[in-house]
A = this chain, B = another copy of it.
Amino acid sequence: MVRKQAAAGVKERLSRERIVDCAIALADAEGLDAVTIRRLAQDQGVTPMALYWHFKDKERLLDGIAERLISQAAALVADGPDGQPISQPDQRAWDERLRGVLAAILTVFREHPALTDLVPPRILMCEPGLDLTEQALGLLREAGFGVEQSAQLAMHALNSVVSLVAAEPGRVVGVDAEIREQRLRTKKASLQAVSPTRYPNVLASVGHLVECGSETAYYELGLDAFMAGVRGLQPGRP
């Protein structure tokens, strides 16, 4: 539950940054559907139309949210996971470096699973998104892919990362723990009621379909699968 900031006495001046902060916090807590012009205004102790001075319309606000996530990912790629700017040239092979870029994006997205879908259609609309794209394209070109395949694989990479996060087994956005648990139990039970002769493999997999044993293993497999796919298609290979 996000409280009215006015009631909490935290009222401050509005700004694009504060609105985006608030929207992201709200989406993290209650899902993207809760991110509403009117709700955001309420949380900031302001009239809904106040937001229209800062953003032309809701679409632009969503653009702003996406840009925030993208620039966090770009910063992580530029600085490395330790926050130290990387100065010396990266000596690793193209595939290790590409995997690093995807892993950085993944790290940011995992903190905001309700918002990941906003990103792919907007990646080319802001500078940090262009930076990320430029790096991915450069690495794929270095690997020997043509311009067209590189472009398509770069976009596909972003989509893969997004759908990994959005489809993490057991994911339910915008409901709190108890209800979430209840829903998962229900889903599990209904799957276990399936015909064992017709759906033996589904039945054997119920546990893994409905919850994520090890998140680390899950995301490693996702990245590995994408990278193996790219490597498998690399031109001039056995």
Q: B205 near A150 (CB under 8 angstroms)?
A: yes
In angstroms, how far is the closest chain B Cβ from the Cβ of A126?
11
| Interface bits A186-204 vs B (CB < 8 Å: 1, else 0) | 0100010010001111101
In angstroms, how far is the closest chain B Cβ from the Cβ of A10?
34
Quick check: is A39 within 8 A (CB to CB) of the other chain?
Answer: no
Q: B198 near A134 (CB under 8 angstroms)?
A: yes
Residue from A130, A199, A201 with most neighbouring chain B CB atoms (10 Å): A201
Quick check: is A6 within 8 A (CB to CB) of the other chain?
Answer: no
Task: Determine the chain B residues whose CB is within 8 A of the CB of A204 once the complex forms.
Answer: 137, 147
For this complex, into which size category does the number of interface residues on chain A fall? 35 or more
- Interface residue stretch chosen among A13-21, A75-83, A104-112, A224-232: A224-232
In angstroms, how far is the closest chain B Cβ from the Cβ of A134?
5
Could you list some 25 contacts between A and B, CB below 8 A? A120-B163, A124-B202, A130-B194, A134-B199, A137-B204, A147-B205, A148-B208, A148-B217, A151-B169, A152-B169, A152-B222, A153-B225, A156-B160, A156-B167, A156-B222, A156-B225, A159-B163, A159-B164, A225-B229, A225-B233, A226-B229, A227-B229, A228-B228, A229-B229, A229-B230
